[in-house]
Amino acid sequence: MITGLHHISMKCGTAEEFERAKDFYINLLGLDVIREWPEGIMIGCGNCALEIFNNGEGVRSLGAIRHIAFATNDVEEIVYKVKEAGYEVFIEPKDIVIKSDPEFHARMAFCFGPLGEQIEFFKEC
């Protein structure tokens, strides 16, 4: 019955957060706008979308969903762009091996996004 992941949704508490989020995902990461409406925007992420609302209220906290992982072909390049834009990279690019059967090799890095969300940049090796 499930055919894939359609979208990930986030809410902004202020107009400033909304504009910062749009700038980060559209201008910095180079993602495309799919559609906009008065309360939000949907941004394409390749095989799914990111939905950002401008009408959020309340305190943000890290819940069960830990991070958003974006597939990339160049972890270093995207980390450089993110740092140049003033965002904190809290795990620098590094190679990892997931001890599964078979082993899974990847290169990854993490940053905080404009809403405090954790973002992973991930390249399968």
Q: Which of 51, 63, 57, 59 is nearest to 8 (CA)?
A: 51
Does 1.10.10.10 match the CATH number of domain 1-57?
Answer: no
Residue 31 is classified by DSSP as: P
pLDDT tens, residue by residue, 85-122: 999 999 999 999 999 999 999 999 999 999 999 999 99
Domain 67-125 belongs to what topology?
2,3-Dihydroxybiphenyl 1,2-Dioxygenase; domain 1 (3.10.180)
- Per domain, the residue ranges of the chain are 1-57, 67-125
Check: CB of residue 23 under 8 Å from CB of residue 67: no
pLDDT tens, residue by residue, 3-36: 788 999 998 888 899 999 999 999 999 999 999 9
Domains 1-57 and 67-125 share a fold: yes
